Structures are given as C-alpha cells and as structure tokens.
Structure 1
Amino acid sequence: MQVELSAGTVEYTDTGGAGPVVVFVHGLLMDGSLWDAPVAQLDGLRCVVPTLPLGAHRHPVHDDADLSMPGIAQLLAEFLERLDLRDVTLAGVDTGGALVQLLMTGGAPRVSRVALASCDAFDNFPPGLTGKTLFLAGKLSPRLFGLFVQQLRLRAVRRLPIAFGWLTKRGDAATARWIRPLLSQAGIRRDTVRVLRAAAAAPGILVEAAERLPAFDRPVLVVWATEDRVMPLEHGRRLASLLPKSEFAEVADSYTLLPLDQPAELARLVREFTAG
C-alpha cells in the first residue's frame, strides 16, 4: 500500500482488523520489513508499518521535503492523521525510537501508548560506530555516498561494527535487502545524504527531547537488548525512570535490532503491553 503525504509517497503495510492499532517505526537505512517477524506473531492486532524516507525507501521525496529529524517525526504524525489512526500504540527501535521520542514531546494526540526498543537517546546521537560512520559518509556528495554504499554489497563489510555488525546478530539477509534502493536510485541517495546532513547539524536534539519527556503522561514500555553494543543499556533504564507511567524489560541474546534477533519475545512484550 502507499499514501501520498506532503513529502511524497510513503509505502506501508497494514494487517487490517478491528484490534488495537500498533504503528511500528524503523531506523536509518532500514524499511518497514524490519518488523515483519514480530508482526506475523501479533494476530488480532492491527499492525501498520510505514517505510519512512530514511534511506531504504523506494520513492524519492519532493525536493522541498523537510528531512530533518523533527521533519520526519512530523511526517510520521501526518501519516497517522492521513490514515485516521487513533488510540495508537507507537513502537520504535533504533532511530525510529528517536522519532517516537520527538513525537512524544509534541503531545502526540493520536497516541495512547508508546513502546521504545533499544534506540537513540540522550547524547548517544549519532549512536555507536555505525551512526558516526553514517554521519561522516553523509558529508559526501550523493554520488560518492553511492560508492560508499557499494561496499555494503559484501557480507563481510555489512558485518563490520561500522556497518550493521553490532546492530543485529541474525538479520544479515534483511540488511542486504535494505541497501538495494540506495544502490539503484540516485534520488534515494540524494534523500539519504539530506537526512544525514540534517541529523548531523542537530547533535543535541535528543538531549533537549529528554528534558520534556517527563510530561508524557501515557503508558510507555521500554525494552532493551542486554547485549546491545550501540545503545547503552543504562540509557534504557534512564528513559524508563524519566517517564511517569513506564515499565522496563530486558531481552537477552540480541543486539539493537530486537525485531530481527528476538522477534517472538518482542511480540510477546508488545502484545501484553497493548492488552494492559
């Protein structure tokens, strides 16, 4: 499926149904397929998963689209409004969790619950070696950035700590799929460079967001991978302590991308949270 928003075409999947609505948000250089395995185990819930313009999208956005972090967060809010989704549980991992935090600080009237899973927070932006490498690569021209991405065709390169190696234990097939639009479309490379440059220009954005998070008065589930080498476990605990209606859970045997490494356990936690 796809929907036309102010920035351009956004693809999404929607399982339909009358159950509680859960909207899942992915991170940089990822698409909505990140959430395929957990969604497959959440029958009875209406699971909606957009692919935002974060580097693995397939439709280049308009030239004047705001591709800053706040701009993409507002695009997510526009997506909820355009599909008239209400009483939403909003779940984000990696950079998707950062976007969710930005929405939380703006009130998020269509959101009734939030799930934050191993994500950028506080001063961990850009996060880890992967984030720092991407932000440096974003200084390149779109053409040279494309040459950088070409190296990710090799599994050995994708598994490096500066690429996806510390983000997922088991998801290499997904990471190989995510880079295809960058390899094939100049417009996607242009968009991605714009995203990275805008993000690099606002390094303190999540520190500022954290100062306003205590005002978010709805239930929040914070889930963190105990073996995460990119998003510090202590940040998960700090996020939970900031939020007045939060619960915290740790998941073993996983790196940052819990939907790839521990989809069944993540699905269980999300199901129990939405039912609670």
Structure 2
Amino acid sequence: MAVSVESLGPTREVELPEGPIRFHERGEGPPLVFVHGIIANADVWRHVVPRLAEHYRCITPDWPLGGHELPLREGADFSLFGLADLVDRTLAALDLDEVTLIGNDTGGAICQAVAANHPDRLSRLVLTPCDAFDNFLPLPIKHLQLFGRTTAGLKVLAESLRYRPVQRLPIAFGLLTRRPIPANIMRSYTAPLRERADVRRNFAHLVRAISTRYTLEAAETLSRFPRPVLLAWARQNFFPLDHAERLAGRLPDARLRIIEDSGPFVTEDQPRRVAALIQEFLSTTGDRAAR
C-alpha cells in the first residue's frame, strides 16, 4: 500500500463472517470512521486524518470496493444495503459506539444506507460529494457496470488504468479531481484489480449489484435520522450540488458547507478545508452528540 504509518496509523485487521477487513488507526478520543468509494482505499483520507487525529480516534478501513487487497469470500452481499451491513458489523466487531461516520464517493452512499438502516452506533454523519438519489453510478463512469460484469472485462479495465493519460480521462479519474492524483496513490487504488483475480471477482459482484433503487430508498429513510449531519460539498457536476441541497432539506439536523476549487475528491483537492469543516462540525455538535 502507498500510505505511510505516519499518515493513517498502523495497519490492523478485523475478521468478519464475510472475510477480513484491513484498517488503519491513529489518535485517541471519540471515534471517526471513514468510508471511501470504488477503486479507492484508505489513502483517500491520508491528508485529512493527520489533521484530526490529535483529538479523535481515526479509523480508516480499506473497504472491499476494488482498491482492497483482502478479498471477501464468495457469497458476500455487495449490494448497497449489504455493504451497509458490513460497515455496521465492522463497527460492532471493533466495539465502537457514538461514531462519526464520514463518507466520500460511493462511500457516501454506503454511509447514507448505514444511517438509514443502522443508526444506533452513530452520533453524527459527514457526507462529502457522493452518490445519492438517482445518481448511482454517475453517468461518466456507468461503463464500469458493463466492463465490471466479467472478470475478463475488469482485467482489461484495470490494465488500462495503469497509464497516466488514461487515468485523467473523464471516464476514469479525470472528473474526480482538479489536480492529478499522485502516481503512487493511483497505483494503490488500481493495482489490486490488475493483480488479484479474487479482487476482480469481488468487484464484479459489486457492480452487478449497483442500483438506484437502493440510494433512493436510503434517501427516503434519512428523513428519520435525528443526529447532526454535515454535507461538505464541492461545486461540480459529477455529484451535483443540488443533491446535497436535497439531502440537507430531507435531514432533520443538517448543515451544508461549500468547498471551492475542488472536484468530487475533496480530500485530494482541498484536504485542509475538509479537515477544518469536519473539526468545526465536531466541536460545535459536541464530542458526544446528543441522541
């Protein structure tokens, strides 16, 4: 993995019925758990965690979304609600309560599903630009559902992502950031799909299970989520600002903050701003948000 121990903390593992989940842990205090998107891993948060770990216990797993090195077993449920169950079981296995759950990209959709179906362990929710409503997957990367249906198609896709010009195409990572993602980080995101057939099998199950009916159902249920929510969103079209506004209007206790000069991967383009907004949100809602 590209991430350093100094950035996210030591690597550990927790064993679930579906298989192992690798995670990093740094800091002490109220727990923050981070959820990245597809073809990514904990490295997404490498510039944010060090700014929060002085006062919080930051747990950044490599979720089984294509950039992971520890595959889940056959039969694992990769639907949005199945992944939400996986997150909830991970929190239980780590004996975590009063968790602030923080999501980006596909991980934000998973966080919505956790808040909808498993709110008991959560004290707060932070959503950065992510899938929501009928935008799952966004149009520029819908082709993943075609290529991803077979491990052979995924192999071709993964090999193409080896090359920097391809990475910056709109159908790859080009619309996700204003600035290129460093080469070593891109390798950490894309190498597992190239190098591991079992990871490709996991990802094929994942893309087959993607459906807007899950994000629409989760968004509907969020109206009953009573805890504080921060929507830290960028002005871009991949995950429209209108969706953040709709989510904010639906949630009982939500605040929307805008991150300028950024693509959807706000942790790549504006990590200082992201960390500052999260820190402000945590401090103003109290270390143990009222239930």
Cα pair 2:154 2:193 within 8 Å, conserved: no
Q: 88, 91, 99: which is aligned to 1:88?
A: 99
TM-score (norm: length of structure 2): 0.90
Counting matched residue pairs gives: 270
Corresponding residue of 1:256: 264
Unaligned runs of 5+ in 1: none
SS at match of 2:15: strand
Corresponding residue of 2:144: 134
Corresponding residue of 2:197: 186
TM-score (norm: length of structure 1): 0.95
Is it true that 1:106 corresponds to 2:117 in the alignment?
Answer: yes
Q: 223, 228, 241: which is aligned to 1:219?
A: 228
Q: Percent identity?
A: 40
Amino acid at match of 1:273: F
Amino acid at match of 1:118: P
Amino acid at match of 1:150: E
1:35-50 aligned at under 5 Å gives the runs 35-42=45-52, 43-50=54-61
Aligned mates of 1:143, 1:259 — CA distance in 2:
32
Q: 105, 115, 122: which is aligned to 2:126?
A: 115
Aligned mates of 1:103, 1:63 — CA distance in 2:
23
Cα pair 1:26 1:32 within 8 Å, conserved: yes
Corresponding residue of 1:31: 41
Corresponding residue of 1:70: 81
Amino acid at match of 2:31: V
Q: Deviations over 1:5-61 (max 9, x none)?
A: 1210110011141x2211110001110110010001112111111111100110111
Q: Deviations over 1:112-135 (max 9, x none)?
A: 0000111101111111302x1211
Corresponding residue of 2:170: 161
Aligned mates of 2:124, 2:72 — CA distance in 1:
29
Aligned mates of 2:90, 2:175 — CA distance in 1:
30
Q: 241, 244, 248: which is aligned to 1:233?
A: 241
Aligned mates of 1:114, 1:269 — CA distance in 2:
13
Aligned mates of 1:249, 1:126 — CA distance in 2:
23
Shift of 1:148: 1.8
Moved over 3 A (4+): none
Shift of 1:171: 4.7
Unaligned runs of 5+ in 2: 1-11, 285-291
Aligned mates of 1:75, 1:144 — CA distance in 2:
26
1:134-153 aligned at under 5 Å gives the runs 134-139=144-149, 141-153=150-162
Cα pair 2:133 2:212 within 8 Å, conserved: no
Corresponding residue of 1:12: 23
